[in-house]
Amino acid sequence: MNFAPLLRSFAALLLVSALAGCSAPGPQFTILAGSENDVLEPLVQEFCKSRSAGCTMRYQGSLDIALSLKAGNDPDADAVWPAASIWIDMFDTARRVKSVKSIAQMPVILGVRRSKAQALGWIGAKVTTRDILAAVEGGRLKFLMTSATQSNSGAAAYLAMLAAGIGKSDLIEAGDLDKAEVLATARALLRGVERSSGSSGWLADLYRDGQRSGAHYDAMWNYEAVIKETNDKLLADRQEPLYAVYPEDGVSVGDSPLGFVDRGRGKEVEIFFADLQAFLLKGETQARIAATGRRVELGRAVPIRADALTNLNPGRALTVVRPPEPAVIQKALGLYQEALRRPSLTALCLDVSGSMQGTGEKQLLEAMQFLLTPARTREVLVQWSKEDQILVLPFSDHVLWTENASGDDGDQAGLLARALELRANGGTDFYTCAERALAAMKPLLDGERHLPAIVIMTDGKSQGTMSTFESAWRADGRRVPIFGVTFGDKVERSQLDALATLTGGRVFDGTKSLTQAFRAVRGYN
């Protein structure tokens, strides 16, 4: 008997069965997300793995995500997942983001070091924004808070401050922002800012690092879920936790919207997004999201239990501040940046050593043109105010000169004109420049009115020793952070990283976009 036809039929049947059990590989899919969503990335990757898709979550600040949606810009992503819908509403005027749905809800609250909350009499008490204001004005409380123009947690805290000044949580209107008493309340509250940043995740790391290093910050405005995550790590390290304060007169809530960006990649990609969104919203996944301390829509999952030690309670009812109209938010953010925030004191150490000749020198001067041209900084909400103080210290193996000016438009023009005359030559010593910057800042630091920072812009390795700066920094005790911005193709950043670690600063990569790097730095000062 000839078995060959039977064997061929059996082999064909096996092949059809194997193909039926395999789905086609999914698409390459990119999500532009806020840093607070990193805890949820494993859920996204779990879904993507089930579809044999390659998924990338790229983390950016709220304003970065929003700016990528402006007409003429390309977000280079298939979906956006910011902390709140306000950033999509304000900037996506072409309405490219579709099928937007809230994945979770995250109120922004004040986490206070528990011993400080005890000293303030807030344990078990109903605390209002007026109580927080009284503590700030009495010199009994300072806090960490992200920049309201760069990060949603800062914007949410700020909008709640405005609402408290107005005396209503239902809706802030444009006319409310013209009232002197409202602006005075917000300005007084913002005087409590001890450190700022452009990222809620980085801010939480700064708080924990301060606990370990002995800086012992008083408090932090951040998402309820991030306060929980921070406490989990603090308690694991046997450190004192944060006590959750929910202002009775209102909090702002981020709705964590996930939306599809139609870039013409075809129906397959849009269907993949819809399935991912449905996966994140189904009951089992929502329960896992609720377990992280995030709030989900009522009935979808049970919130985690209240914790008496930290006062965290995602099941607690809140007075919620309604998001204003986009035009009102734009006006409020402009007021924050130009009139209400705590003014900055920024020393710019500019590397004009010989290795900067050519491309490096050109990039440096272009960066200064961005930083000191008001029309350009206003476009991305990092403009200087008249109350800000700017020090410029160009250096090679020594500091060439030092000039101080305010953030007034005319003063900026004068600084820029002098900076554009710089030419690269000589060795490199940014340790001496940082030490000189600290000494030049001291008269203004003594008044404790400004938020200080030293920014070192360099392409290479420094001569000299770190002790030149470190001994002066430790002796002064003002906690002035150092931020680095790197230039060039062959960057040696270990020395900058060490300075940032010592002072609670950060190093930004300027090799891809100096404008973005300097904008990021401004969000931290």
DSSP structural state of residue 178? G
- pLDDT tier, 5 (very low <50, low <70, confident <90, very high otherwise): very low
Note whether 248 and 270 are same-domain residues.
no
- pLDDT tier, 7 (very low <50, low <70, confident <90, very high otherwise): very low
Domain that holds residue 190: 106-254+307-333
State the Cα–Cα distance between residues 67 and 461, nearest whole angstrom: 34
Does the pLDDT value for residue 462 go beyond 80?
yes
- The CA radius of gyration of the chain, in Å to the nearest whole number, is 26
State the Cα–Cα distance between residues 342 and 479, nearest whole angstrom: 16
pLDDT (0 to 100) of residue 17:
38
Helix, strand, or coil (residue 61): coil
Alpha-carbon distances of 386 from 181, 292, 318, 342, rounded to whole Å: 21, 42, 37, 12
Q: In this predicted model, what pLDDT tens digit does every residue of 105-158 receive, in sequence order?
A: 999 999 999 999 999 999 999 999 999 999 999 999 999 999 999 999 999 999
Note whether 326 and 369 are same-domain residues.
no
| Number of domains the chain contains | 3
Note whether 349 and 282 are same-domain residues.
no
Note whether 85 and 117 are same-domain residues.
no
Q: In this predicted model, what pLDDT tens digit does every residue of 429-459 receive, in sequence order?
A: 999 999 999 999 998 887 789 999 999 998 8
Residue 458, domain member (yes or no): yes
Q: Which residue has the tokens 């130009």?
A: 338
Note whether 429 and 449 are same-domain residues.
yes
CATH number assigned to the domain comprising residue 31: 3.40.190.10
Query: Average pLDDT, whole number, for the chain?
Result: 90
Note whether 95 and 36 are same-domain residues.
yes
Q: In this predicted model, what pLDDT tens digit does every residue of 313-367 receive, in sequence order?
A: 999 999 999 999 999 999 999 999 999 999 999 999 999 999 888 888 888 888 8
Note whether 89 and 160 are same-domain residues.
no
Q: In this predicted model, what pLDDT tens digit does every residue of 496-505 receive, in sequence order?
A: 999 999 999 9
Residue 12, domain member (yes or no): no
Residue 271, domain member (yes or no): yes
pLDDT (0 to 100) of residue 20:
38
Note whether 74 and 115 are same-domain residues.
no
Question: Cβ-count burial of 240 within 10 angstroms (0-12 exposed, 13-18 middle, 19+ buried)?
Answer: middle
Note whether 379 and 454 are same-domain residues.
yes
Residue count of the chain, please give it.
Answer: 525
Note whether 157 and 196 are same-domain residues.
yes
Contact 393, 399 (CB under 8 A): yes
